[in-house]
Amino acid sequence: MDMNREVVVTCAVTGAGDTVDKHPAIPVTPEQVADAAIEAVDAGAAIVHIHVRDPDTGQGSRDLELFREAVRRVRDSGRDMLINLTAGMGGDLIIDDDDPSVAGPGSDMVNAETRIAHVEELRPDIATLDCGTINFSDSNYIYVQTPNMLRKMANRYQELGVKPEMEVFDLGHLRFANQLGREGLIDAPAMYQVCLGIPWGAGADPATMTAMVGQLPPDVFWSGFGIGRTQMPMVAQAMLLGGNVRVGLEDNLYLEKGVPASNGELVEKAIRIIRDLGGRPCTVDETREKLGIGT
């Protein structure tokens, strides 16, 4: 594993987590989400990873109109960037303690086609493919992605010419992502995101990231991140292991202990780490070339 000195920076600007009451300026409206993406690009990010939220409640949403407005604003900004849309909404299963056969309040389960309706219409450069089911909380919340769903989504991305970002939260997810490649559902270069620290997936520590990177096929593009206080240490770790990096308010709310961050500040801090380690951030055109997008 050789160190990467030409590093692509992704910024995940808002996510869908319950963070609105924990930070003074989480992007919620489509305008705020778009402004956050623009801020991140102006700070040096090449890829922006976009969720949308219900403007009234602040909760994560898969409303097509919200995606339309956010993407329109980003595209109308005149900034050059690669747009990465989440397709993670619609797999939320809350198990009822008394009757596990019944989906509890807060569940939101839809089929593969519905989950990617916004990708069908908006044709982003990249869209996510979360490569497995996971206990996504410390209680009864299960995030569901079955092999059948994933194959359908990957096949449709391939038909649309949208690059799938295969998000892997554990070694089993990574095994299945590799299988999608063997089945011809992922065009080269495959794009992986190593996601660490999510309950209850793989932990955010150097040994775990090293183990997961060791299972990646050769000649793939990969990026990695840790959540919370591990975000910046994992920036350094991913770069040292030959990968690219992701930061942003989806994964971490603070610039330092007790100091709320902005997306731009997190990107700037990541780039300082990259430069201090002897590297540099990649331009958008360089990122397109690395990913084989538009070539």
Q: What are the pLDDT digits (tens) for 85-127?
A: 999 999 999 999 999 998 999 999 999 999 999 999 999 999 9
Provide the residue type at 114 as one letter. Answer: T
Q: What are the pLDDT digits (tens) for 38-48?
A: 999 999 999 99
pLDDT at 295: 62
Q: Which residues contact 50 (CB under 8 A, 6 or more apart)?
A: 13, 14, 33, 37, 67, 70, 71, 74, 83, 84, 85, 86
User: In the chain, which stretches have pLDDT less than 70?
Assistant: 295
pLDDT at 227: 98
pLDDT at 185: 98
pLDDT at 294: 85
**CATH architecture of the domain with residue range 89-291:** Alpha-Beta Barrel (3.20)
Question: Structural domain boundaries of the chain?
Answer: 89-291
Q: What are the pLDDT digits (tens) for 144-153?
A: 999 999 999 9
Percent with pLDDT over 90 in the chain = 97
